[in-house]
Amino acid sequence: MVDVVLGFTEQDFDKSQLTSNYFPTKVGGKPAWLDLSNIPKKEELVCEKCSKQVSFLMQIYAPIDEKEESFHRMIHIFCCKDPRCGYYIAIRTQLPQINDFYPMDADERKYDQDYNDIYKNQLQYTKNRQNTCEYCGCFAKSNCSGCKKVHYCGKEHQQLDWQLGHSEQCKLLKDINDDNDNSGDNDKKLPRKRASEFLFKELDIITENQELKEFPPTNDNSNNNNNNNNNDNNDNDNDNDDEYDDDNDEDDIDLDENGNAIYKNEIGKELVPTNSGGETVTGDADAISKFEDYVSETGKKAEFNEETFTKIKDKSLIYFKRIIEKDQDQILRYSKHSNYPILWVSDTDQAPSQIPTCSNCGSNRKFEFQILPQLLYFLGMDSSLENNSSDIDFGILSIYTCESSCKINNSSSFVKEFIFKQDFKK
């Protein structure tokens, strides 16, 4: 049995629960750091191509309970907002169960009504916490000289935040009693700031466990998440045939007005990702066109079975579309199972056979999760549009992490992991 955790965006959420105390899995906004005494400096998170600071894209809380040093564990994803760079970075932070910032049972108690009182009443969990920049969320070394309640990583971000609305908030913040530390109440009294172009839209991520029942109809090892270790994992070769369900029925095929085959899902919609409102999320019409050309050329207009599936020019993309059609709003797929078939959006430019080893301990890295292109839609960046030259774009992001989840040295606040970006084939 191969299990996978699917992630979906949630726009109706309590903003206070997307902060560090709650170990959130989320999209956008500012990062909710785990180790609050080693918050990264903005100079540590820059694009290797243009040297600009990268923006926070997503984080997932992925603890490893059986390892003391990674009882709490977070993977953060950042990217350069200049689409010409196409630069993405993954970093790992972690803490033991007994630490300076959270109670031992914090993960169990975080939804208790009085949970926040722990941090208000027990100084031991807050005294070693560093301040974060109001604009970008990185380590803040100074504060506003006016209200002295908002912090910044430098003068540049202080000026930008002033323009976004701190100029209107500053005087009001001076008048708020220091004892009133309820950010929700404060927000009601302060005028709303304008949205920052540096940050992505903030969204909660809810997860759902699922047993994977459909596998690629080939023995291509490029789809196995242990391909970096050159392991021959053939345990699922026979299971694939058994679990390859009846999605191949002829009922899933229709003909267009020219007699060409159109592959459809069970509810009769074309096989492209859509949101809950039926709008296209993203897709590659060229792949469907290739499929139509293939069945037309071979005379198999209404046939679509495993044999023809394996002959399609880009079977990776077709498998990708077949998998996501069942849950078209998913933005995240997480699985550390050795036989999990990694999704690709093209047969070409897949991850290299040798994934770089961990820069911290030298151990092998293994596949951990993927970020799907549907995320771009929920961020307001539809990659199927032609006028998105100023938006980030990707086909799929695959993240590989240290198989040992090694201890982070005291001299560093995080460990960089390997992230592979694959684009749709143009």
> In the chain, what are the domain boundaries?
8-128+199-206+334-422, 137-177+191-197
pLDDT of residue 217: 65
Asked if residues 93 and 401 have their Cβ atoms less than 8 Å apart, the reply is: no
Distance of CA 163 to the CA centre of its chain: 30
pLDDT confidence band for 389 (50 / 70 / 90): low
Name the pLDDT band for 254 (thresholds 50, 70, 90): very low
Packing angle of the helix pair 285-298, 315-324 (nearest 10 deg)? 120
pLDDT digits (tens, 9 = 90+) for 304-314: 455 545 555 67
The predicted structure's pLDDT at residue 240 = 39
Tell me how far CA of residue 170 lies from CA of 80, 151, 184, 191, 353, in angstroms: 30, 12, 17, 10, 54
Asked if residue 131 has pLDDT above 50, the reply is yes
Would you state the structure tokens that stand for residue 344, as one six-digit string?
A: 């690709």
Question: How far apart are the C-alpha atoms of 208 and 384, rounded to whole Å?
Answer: 27
Neighbours of 47 (CB within 10 A): 20
pTM: 0.77
pLDDT in tens, 52-95: 999 999 999 999 989 999 999 999 999 999 999 999 999 999 99
